[in-house]
Amino acid sequence: PGRFGGSEEGRGKTIVIDYSSPNIAKPFHLGHLRSTVLGHAIRKLYESLGYKVIGVNHLGDWGTQFGFMLAAWQRWRQDAEARIARGEGEIDVFVSLYVRINQLAQEDPSVREEARSWFRRLEQGDREARSLWQYFVDRSKREFDRIYAILGIHHESDAGESFYEDKMQPGDPDKGGLGFPLILKSDGGTTYATRDLAAAFYRETTYHPERIVYVVGAPQTLHFKQLKKILELMGEPWHEKLVHVPFGQYIGMSTRQGNVVFLDEALTEGRRVATEAAESATKKQDLGPAEIAENARKIGAGAVKFFDLKNGRMKDIQLENNSAGKIDLSLITATKGETGPYVQFAYARLSGVLRNYGKEPTAAGVVFSLLGEPEANKVLKAIGEHPAKVRQALADFEPSIVARHLLDVADAVHSFLHVHRIMDSATEKVDPKVREARALLVGCARKVVGQCLDLLGIEPLEKM
């Protein structure tokens, strides 16, 4: 009894997906948000076909930039701590220190030397350097975890770049027509590419996966081509397993706002939508304050996810600013149109219809010819496409196929319910056999809508 559109073809097979992967002491920006949301949807697609998924958060927690961070912290620690104590965001403070130390290094070359020596200490496991670095890691992770909790996202592993520190052997790959990324610096230091090479080996030997998928923005396309080519030149047949899934970017707003502000504002807006929906329907709904608050989080997160996932992944996503210069969220959280609240509302509506019906619809004894109306046919057709849509979405790494399909099912069933009744009204009686057939149709539509929401990482709401 698997789910409709699911399969067992992936049974016994493992997929590694690298997604989200933000950088320590740097903002979690909208590119990371896209990677998080897309990567999560892709893992859901794999899971629905029976694969075991290892989600990896390849945190950017290593590299010479940490030498600069430590040098900056040593110089300006008091000032930084005072700013944090006054309520300034920790990551904002870290970023400003990093900018400041780099400016200083432009004027004063000894600062560069100082940073290099800090990084060397870090590499050598010096206690002071390690504990300062750990502080940045802990504080950054705390912020990332806050975001993941809102989004309902998790990883099986957060082996970041530093994890591979002791897993890097010198290599000597040839050119291969893609240029030559620096693998080992003259002073023995490693690079982003070295660490990705080590990570690929680790993933291959630890998990023996079918595929190693990287959900990372389009600007890193060359990096992943090089990575794959190097493995090929090293004679590793499993280089074939590497797949880079690139995506477009958010455009149309300043970078100042370009990070969590978007997420936080969408959540606030989601809260407003949820409260309003509950208030305007007090007769039909009996939602308590705790339920409303939980719905608010789900609606806000769902709005952000659907807004992202309804677009073909290579498309840039245009954000509009309103007259106050802030991101205009009305399109994202509207209850009508192609939005998260709309698809969640569809699920809540179908759930409500079935609550009124009062029992679990079943196919036993249903006279299917009673579903001959054109509106019913549309629903049946949309539902019937479900398994093929799921497969196509995974084959193309394109969750937007699920999102569009979800809109089709939701539209079709809304139109059906607009014209046809299930329960009697004061003026219209419904034949019990017709009621049974329609309830089954609604029950199936609800299942498909629920599965699509789940594939997109959007939490369903029974009541809204």
Contact yes or no for 16/207 (Cβ under 8 A): yes
At 463, list the tokens.
């009541």
Among residues 21, 65, 344, 400, the one that binds ligand ARG under rule CB under 6 A: 21
x-or-dash string of contact with ligand ARG, 57-96, rule CB under 6 A: -x-x------------------------------------
The one segment of 18-26, 151-159, 282-290, 388-396 that binds ligand ARG by CB under 6 A: 18-26
Using the minimum distance from each CB to ligand ARG, give the nearer residue, 23 or 339: 23
Residue 219 CB, nearest approach to ligand ARG (Å):
8
* Of the candidates 68, 51, 48, the residue with the CA atom closest to the CA atom of residue 2: 48
Helix (H, G, I), strand (E, B) or coil at 272: helix
Please give the torsion angle defined by the CA atoms of residues 260, 262, 267 and 272, in that order, rounded to the nearest 10 degrees: 150
Q: Which two tokens stand for residue 143?
A: 């912020």
Shortest distance, position 30 Cβ to ligand ARG, whole Å: 12
Residue closer to ligand ARG by CB (options 243, 334) is: 243
Question: Helix, strand, or coil here: 277?
Answer: helix
- The piece of 19-27, 254-262, 412-420, 441-449 that touches ligand ARG (CB under 6 A) is 19-27
Kindly tell me which residue out of 5, 17, 23, 72 binds ligand ARG, with binding defined by CB under 6 A: 23
Exposed / middle / buried, residue 224 (Cβ in 10 Å: 0-12, 13-18, 19+) = middle
Distance in angstroms (rounded) separating the CA atoms of residues 308 and 367: 41
The phi, psi pair for 157, rounded to 5°, reads -140, 135
CA-nearest of 411, 393, 413 to 402 is 393
Establish if 196 lies at the interface with ligand ARG (CB under 6 A): yes
Only one of the segments 21-29, 77-85, 241-249, 341-349 lies at the binding site for ligand ARG (rule: CB under 6 A); that segment is 21-29
User: Would you name the residues annotated as active-site residues?
Assistant: 26, 29, 32
Closer to ligand ARG at the Cβ: 196 or 338?
Answer: 196
DSSP secondary structure string for all residues of 203-224:
HHHHH--SEEEEE--GGGHHHH
User: Which of 16, 38, 216, 260 touches ligand ARG (CB under 6 A)?
Assistant: 216
118 or 164: CB nearest ligand ARG: 164
**Nearest Cα to 202, choosing from 172, 230, 167, 234?**
167
Of residues 60 and 361, the one with the C-beta less far from ligand ARG: 60
Q: Residues in the site for ligand ARG, rule: CB under 6 A?
A: 18, 21-23, 58, 60, 196, 199, 214, 216
